[in-house]
Amino acid sequence: MADKKRFTPEEIVKSFKDEFKAKIKNTRIERRTKGPSKHEFVHIWMKVDKSIFKDSVKHLATLQKYPHLAVASGNDLGKTIELIYHFSIYYGVPLGEISINISVELPKSKPEIETICDIIPGALITEREKQEMLGVTIKGIPDSRRVFLTDDFPEGVYPWRKDETGPQKLIRNLHEVKK
């Protein structure tokens, strides 16, 4: 951790671009200041191609041995499903932590992505959640059971989807229920 040189946000983005060239898109460094003394904090956002997703996490692990994975969130963007992995590195350094958000888009026809549990074992629960909530397939996941949904929840319904596979059918509006 402390044994390695700490990169600035620009250097981090550059190292990703050098490594993966055109497969990294939409990089954005978001700087905000907080508090009376205007201390800065940095959120880096980047979109990676699905073919290099796992390599990009491996690359992140070279910057810090154990990148902290907070959670993965997801969006249904119509034709594609977007997964966003929220990492943070350089924690433990006062005011030095950098959040890195890596997003990856998967086509709805074949929503598959590789597991990162072998790099970050703590990713298991969030990967299981993405499987049940967004209907993506995590290849090589050590445990593919459901985590939050009950076992009797219908197959093929994914609560975070906004299309016909979404939860609309299951919703009962109280004002429409006849007495």
Partner 1 sequence: MKTKQTTKTTYHIPIGPIHPALKEPVAFEFEIDGERIVDVDVSLGHVHRTVEWTATKRNPIQILYLAERICGICSYCHPTAFALAVENIANIEVPERAEYLRVIQAELERICSHILWAGVAAHEIGFDSVLFLTWQIREKVLDLTEYLTGNRITKGIITIGGVRRDITKEHHPKIFETLNYLKDNFEKLRKVYLDDKTFRMRAQGCGILTKEDALKLCAVGPTARGSGVKKDVRVDQAYFSCADLDIECITPDVLTGEVNGDVYDRIIVRLLEVKQAIDLIEQCIDKMPAGDIVSEPKVAKVLATLKKASGEGIGRMEAPRGEVIHYVKLVEGEEYPFTWKVRAPTYNNIMPWVPMLIGEQIADIPIVAASTDPCMSCTNRVAIVDSGKKYELNKEELHRLSVEKTRRLMA
Task: List interacting residues with partner 1 (CB under 8 A).
Answer: 30, 32-37, 39-41, 43, 45, 65-66, 68-71, 73-75, 84, 86, 88, 90-97, 99, 101, 120-126, 146-150, 159-160, 167
CA–CA gap between residue 86 and residue 69 (Å, rounded)? 6
Half-sphere exposure of 12 (CA within 13 A, CB side): 29
Sign, CA dihedral 26-7-17-111, equals negative
Nearer to partner 1, 59 or 68 (CB): 68
Q: Radius of gyration (Cα) for the chain, nearest Å?
A: 19
- As measured in angstroms, the least distance from the Cβ of 77 to partner 1 is 9
Q: Which is nearer to partner 1, 8 or 71 (CB)?
A: 71
- Smallest separation (angstroms) from partner 1 to the CB of 8: 15
Tokens of 44: 């880096």
Q: Give 33 or 109: the residue with its C-beta nearer to partner 1.
A: 33
| Minimum CB distance to partner 1 smaller for 7 or for 45 | 45
* Exposure string for 53-77, b = 16+ CB within 10 A, e = fewer: bbebbebbbebbeebbbeebbbebe
Q: How many Cα atoms are found within 13 Å in the side-chain-facing hemisphere of 143?
A: 11
Do the strands 98-107 and 39-48 form a parallel or antiparallel pair, or are they unpaired? parallel
Least distance in angstroms from the C-beta of 97 to partner 1 = 4
Nearest approach, Cβ of residue 55 and partner 1 (Å): 20
Minimum CB distance to partner 1 smaller for 21 or for 177: 177
Least distance (Å) from partner 1 to the CB of residue 17? 21
